[in-house]
Structure 1
Amino acid sequence: MDATRNTALELWMAEHGHSSNSLADAVNGALERLTGRAGGLDGSSIRSWKAGRVKWPKSATRKALEDVTGLPAIALGFIPRGRTSLAPPPPQKDPGMKRRTVVGGIAAAAAAAAAPGTAAPRRIGMSDVDRLRTRFAEVIASDHRHGGQLGIEQRAAALADEALNLQNSGSATQRVRSNLYACAASFRSSAMWAAIDGRRYDDAKGHMREAQALAEMSGDQAIKFRIWSHAGTMYRHLGRPADALAANDVARHLHVTRRDPLFASLGLARQSAICGAAQDRIGTRRAFELAQDAMLRADPADFRPVWMLAFYDQAELDSLALSAFLALGDYQTAEFHAHRCLSALRPHMRRSLAITTTRLAHAQLAQGAADAATVTAMSVPSNAATQHARVSRMLQEFGAALRATAPGSSTAQIWTEHTRDAWRTPA
């Protein structure tokens, strides 16, 4: 591999489903908002970045790229002029710091800063916020690969504590402090989602309360939307559709949904899924139609947070429609949305692939296609089938439905043998 290539940028683009042309369009839009003039980038400009021919874009272009990605240029593999590599500066702490936990290390630094007779407190700035945002992007990527894992929840919670501890480790402007609270709320919301996805609902509620308080202190509309929208999903999984609608309505009535149709679309798509769980056929179809319309009106060049860019697109809209119509018992429509979702899923959405495939198997079985449904269910990767709580439960329910539908059949026997052999836990 060419050592000069910007592999960090290439990985980010692959993770977020960007081609060279689509990233150029997004950065051009951000440039126009920054400068009042449309940007002149095209696909060849981005290919020059990826090839390493442009190591440090011009300041306005660089800021526009950072607005689009939510990451500092250095984290995207660019090298400031005058430096030959991205090698980190020499460590300023003693080697023993490496063996301390992140939170403990920052807490110690804060205590040292407050101690009498020591140097003045350090200045906390946007570079600290950018570092946390990079870590947040890593949590998001891990969630979409694995989903629901306790390790993701614990890591996100620890990073939320790190962001809060940073508040007390030095002086900062109000803008920086608001951004630190937003970072802490973002990490807490990811811990909340991992707990929901892993069916650890009591833990999810605890993360939700902390995330909501932090979001209020940050004033960040987008993260408030994420937290309340997640709350709606949690209550839907708990079988409490009235609470789910109430929580999702809080998200849907935030100002960000009036400013950005994509947020409005996500709120409506989740409303459709909740209406499906509540057996409201008219509400389900109406919310889906409005969600689709809002998505078509959304400008892909608008700046959005990394968590939104990482997952919400046409495939996710169809995934939520699949959930809604499956709950309603409209299995033919559910199957339609399942196939449409699977055809558009981005490669990094591995958790979503497993969930959608499992729901497709349920829709096929409910229509009497036991053989096809079993083949579909058997295509779910064994790691998702055994390690993701929601997928495991849905596959167990699939097996029970299959045995009830076709007891003693060769298809049921094939499924039993598959679960015994493919899901066997290594000794």
Structure 2
Amino acid sequence: MEANRQLADAISEAGLNQAELAEAVNDYLRSIGRDGTVSDRTVRHWLTGKTHWPHPRQREALEAVFGRSAGELGFRPPAGRRSTTRKEDPVHRRNFLTAATGTAAAVPLAAARPHAVGTTDVIRLRNGLAALTALDASRGGHEALERAALAGATEALGLQKYAASQRIRQRLFSVAANYTASAAWSAVDARQSDRAQGHLNRALYLAGMAKDPVIELRVWNSHAMLALHRGEFSQAVDAGRAAQATAVTRRDPLFASLALARTAVGHSSVGDRRGALRSLGHAEDALAKAGADDPRPSWVAFYGPSELMAITAIVRDEIGDSAGAEAASHRALAAIPKQFRRNRALATIQLALTQLHQHDAEQACATADEVFTLMAGDPLPGRMRSYLGDFLRDLITLAPDSTTAREWEDRYRSEWSQAR
């Protein structure tokens, strides 16, 4: 008898315990006119592998709760029996708001208003967060994504007016905080600072209502990045320290590492070389202790050894170690997963800057050209355009008479006009 690890991971990712999953499955069964008889013991049998193929209605309920097939949840039919799980219309399972640009933004539309709100409503709303995160990783921040995230937050808060337990109310606040934080991050990435600040303030309030330290860290992480964009470098350090002080950093070293790495960038920006390298070293130590397979929310999937290397490149270039920064950039690009297209493009810009700062203008321009290839098909996010502008300014300063520099400037201005 083999434990069902895939189901255990899905339960952890959804923030449930066994009793709450049983409640969610029963809620679904009752919504389709069936008796809800699933208990903690039933869930325990699924997890231990004692029951490796639940009966059809239970499989249907599990698929509806998690938005995954029975196979993806680790269940297997007995040998010789074909799966008879009903194929649910994906539109029935999850509706999407279509943004004005034609982009499908993954936020579930409001279901028929319930008399009471339960775990299934929370999970339905959470399912949209992962899709928004995937869209951000590929394309970057943009107004359609921001609007979709705010719509998700509005729906989560709207459910507060229906009957629900205190636990469900806190989870709805948590979901609303995450959607609002997603909207804030989209605005940060799009370089819409004023909107980003308003969303971050709102997200921090909702995170407090939810008593959710993970979202608090997420918000302070974005606050640190927004402060850097505004040139408020001491505030970036303060935001990084606030992220370090959240309770989740004591439970999970990966979150501690992220907060320390963000603080290192702040230190390097104010010229504190020692503080930057000290924070970076602590970030490396913390990440080495983090469990790679521990369940975490989808928004933090970007962070790991490759992203720490990308941040290392930024810090080292800022403190004048361009050769070390170039080495870190190459290591980052060798490891950043393909789905993080925007992050790969940003790491490529950083590599180009480190090469330029070593006075290799021709190689730097060739590297910077790769950004346009990576992001082909989508407008460049505001943050990326800004970094490319930084590259151009340094290029003109360091190689004003270079033919390569003039050609790259023409390419940049052409791409800029097309990206608007």
- TM class by shorter chain equals 0.7 to 0.9
Which residue of 2 is the match for residue 191 of structure 1? 183
User: Is 1:60 paired with 2:47?
Assistant: yes
Which residue of 1 is the match for residue 23 of structure 2? none
Which residue of 2 is the match for residue 366 of structure 1? 357
Which residue of 1 is the match for residue 266 of structure 2? 274
**Partner amino acid for 1:375?**
A
C-alpha contact 1:26 1:301 (8 A) present in aligned 2: no
Partner Cα distance (1:357, 1:88) in 2? 37
Name the CA shift for 1:61/1:147 in 2 (closer, same or farther; >3 Å).
farther
Residue 322 (structure 1) shift: 1.6
- Among candidates 248, 251, 275, match of residue 283 of structure 1: 275
Deviation per residue, 1:34-61 (Å, 9 max, x gap): 89xxxxxxxxxxxxxxxxxxxx996226
Which residue of 2 is the match for residue 391 of structure 1? 384
The percentage of counterpart residues that share the same residue type is 35
Which residue of 1 is the match for residue 35 of structure 2? none
**Partner amino acid for 2:135?**
S
Name the CA shift for 1:163/1:365 in 2 (closer, same or farther; >3 Å).
same
C-alpha contact 2:65 2:124 (8 A) present in aligned 1: no
Residue 406 (structure 1) shift: 2.3
SS of the counterpart of 1:299? coil
Which residue of 1 is the match for residue 394 of structure 2? 401
C-alpha contact 2:65 2:120 (8 A) present in aligned 1: no
C-alpha contact 2:8 2:47 (8 A) present in aligned 1: no
Which residue of 2 is the match for residue 297 of structure 1? 289
Which residue of 2 is the match for residue 84 of structure 1? 86
Moved more, 378-387 or 141-150: 378-387
Deviation per residue, 1:277-333 (Å, 9 max, x gap): 11111011111111001111112232222222x211111111111222222222112
Under a length normalisation based on structure 2, what TM-score does the superposition of the two structures give?
0.76
Residue 225 (structure 1) shift: 1.1
List aligned pairs for 1:114-153, cutoff 5 A: 122-153=115-146
SS of the counterpart of 2:371? coil
Under a length normalisation based on structure 1, what TM-score does the superposition of the two structures give?
0.75
Which residue of 1 is the match for residue 58 of structure 2? none
Partner Cα distance (2:144, 2:46) in 1? 38
Which residue of 1 is the match for residue 367 of structure 2? 376
SS of the counterpart of 1:425? helix
Number of positions where the alignment pairs a residue of Structure 1 with one of Structure 2: 355
Which residue of 2 is the match for residue 340 of structure 1? 331
Deviation per residue, 1:12-49 (Å, 9 max, x gap): xxxxxxxxxxx879849979x989xxxxxxxxxxxxxx
User: Is 1:314 paired with 2:301?
Assistant: no
Name the CA shift for 1:214/1:378 in 2 (closer, same or farther; >3 Å).
same
Partner Cα distance (1:141, 1:220) in 2? 22
**Partner amino acid for 2:69?**
G
Residue 426 (structure 1) shift: 8.9
Residue 88 (structure 1) shift: 6.4
Partner Cα distance (2:240, 2:64) in 1? 32
User: Is 1:154 paired with 2:141?
Assistant: no
Unmatched runs of 5 consecutive residues or more in structure 2: 19-42, 50-62, 76-82, 94-105
Moved more, 130-139 or 226-235: 226-235
Deviation per residue, 1:245-302 (Å, 9 max, x gap): 2222222112211111111111111111111111111011111111001111112232
Residue 344 (structure 1) shift: 0.5
Which residue of 2 is the match for residue 178 of structure 1? 170
